[in-house]
Structure 1
């Protein structure tokens, strides 16, 4: 593929030795388009339980100051603890999730974030953006150091404000970007020309580099479109310091060792509701 003059040119795709076709496809997809997906990874019943857990957590978050943060008009983000999601273990221990994390981030990947976005009725187009500034290892070394997995709680329809992504833009250098995350409006034409809208169904899962330029679009319906977010880091990526995920000792001890090995969050006697951290998106897009 051809890279722009103002973009990082990634090194040879870091495909592990002896990789099978599925691994090759995952690594290649994330290093080229910046997003991949697995249809029907989970049952609709599993996805429905996830939707119910999100609904409970969202109502609780809205009941207290700092429980939810605005990501634009009628959009909220809520970070939760793994124990607030009944299917968390099935999610992080899913063979496809393990394969993607290990292949792209290395064997010592870490789960650092669990939360959900809710674009409600009347949510408007977000500005094109990435979720955090480009790390030095990506800028200089051409390596992806984190992934965001997304799972929809509903069957996405056209009028619900689908997620829109501009493939290959994870390598765009942040020249002229506000906060190194929001490209100037003069670049919007390029992103709109590249844009792909996604229409996942309950049970589908996607993985993407959160550096790939994307946005939520306008929700014309009277329905919300909740989406779960699982954030995963390579060692040293540093995103854990921006999140407050924790687990209780009882929960931690109940997990298989292969899952415990990928947790670096605090182990506590009792969970404390998470107060959401300051949101640049709120500054850029207005309160929810």
Structure 2
């Protein structure tokens, strides 16, 4: 019988890691005007951001945890899924990231989730993308087909928060997004996700490249048409992904996040009430779900 590999051990916390979450926040304020502006920008552009939400040292620890999880995932079949040549996605469990609680209790994150998704929002995904040196331009795409609620009622039912582990430079394959395209609804989209190539000029015309720094948080609708660009540097550009749903949005079915009982019991109540994942005795390594995306993105 083949022995199942365990996921990478949870990072060892120091007294600094166990300090109150506010120690990690550069600016813990999230006043009503800030959130209203972010909400409006999200609906108008499909993306918004909070610059300098965390200290750079916090982002550096996040980068260490991503690196450990990436090395473990690539050591076993199905641990990392290709999203194009030299480009990978890995889903992880919350306790593989020391700053998970800091992130999901950040006032800007929680306030925006409540404003967009309602007070009973659900944290359904934690993972990261890693474009390595040599990654090429992705095709323009959205991350999943448009939900009926968005199509019929023009309501966003999910958010993707992104945090970079490095200061993004122009040659590192920055994220490129076409603002306002979260509402594009075209039957010609392959698998509901990939627009036809004759639509590319419109997206190139609208395209904006993003150059986040360590400690920034962006929030976007994963329906907004976007792509990763070619990484011509010698460095990887790891980016954390936190996926959050409105109740009933259904994206949890695409993910396998879990927590151990001991970790669950140590979470603040405000985190537990938004974390509907299984509570288990022992974590199992996540095998990335096969999706059509891996095929369309190219041979990875």
CA-CA distance at 1:22 after TM superposition? 1.6
Match of 1:84 in 2: 96
Q: Is the 8 A contact 1:174 1:181 kept in 2?
A: no
Q: Is the 8 A contact 2:188 2:195 kept in 1?
A: yes
Distance (Å, rounded) in 2 between the aligned partners of 1:188 and 1:240: 30
- Pairing 1:33–2:31 present: no
Distance (Å, rounded) in 2 between the aligned partners of 1:146 and 1:280: 20
Q: Which aligned pairs between 1:147-166 and structure 2 lie closer than 5 A?
A: 147-166=159-178
- Pairing 1:63–2:100 present: no
CA deviations on 1:182-241 (whole Å, 9 max, x unpaired) are: 000111010001000000000001000000000000111111100000000000000001
- Pairing 1:215–2:227 present: yes
CA-CA distance at 1:21 after TM superposition? 1.3
Structure 2 unaligned spans of 5+: 1-30
- Pairing 1:126–2:133 present: no
- Pairing 1:265–2:274 present: no
Task: Name the SS of the counterpart of 1:54 in structure 2.
Answer: helix
CA-CA distance at 1:279 after TM superposition? 2.7
Q: Is the 8 A contact 2:35 2:108 kept in 1?
A: no
Task: Name the SS of the counterpart of 2:113 in structure 1.
Answer: helix
CA-CA distance at 1:281 after TM superposition? 2.1
Q: Is the 8 A contact 1:164 1:198 kept in 2?
A: yes
Distance (Å, rounded) in 1 between the aligned partners of 2:233 and 2:224: 26
Q: Aligned-residue CA RMSD in angstroms?
A: 0.9
Distance (Å, rounded) in 2 between the aligned partners of 1:195 and 1:278: 29
Match of 1:21 in 2: 33
Task: Name the SS of the counterpart of 1:215 in structure 2.
Answer: strand
CA deviations on 1:57-97 (whole Å, 9 max, x unpaired) are: 00000000000000001000000000000100000010110
Distance (Å, rounded) in 2 between the aligned partners of 1:226 and 1:32: 27
Give aligned pairs, total.
Answer: 270
Match of 1:241 in 2: 253
Structure 1 unaligned spans of 5+: 1-18
CA deviations on 1:21-40 (whole Å, 9 max, x unpaired) are: 12211211111001000011
Task: Name the SS of the counterpart of 1:32 in structure 2.
Answer: helix
TM-score, reference length from structure 1 = 0.93
CA deviations on 1:129-179 (whole Å, 9 max, x unpaired) are: 000000000001110000000000000000000000000000000321110
Q: Is the 8 A contact 2:79 2:288 kept in 1?
A: yes
TM-score, reference length from structure 2 = 0.89
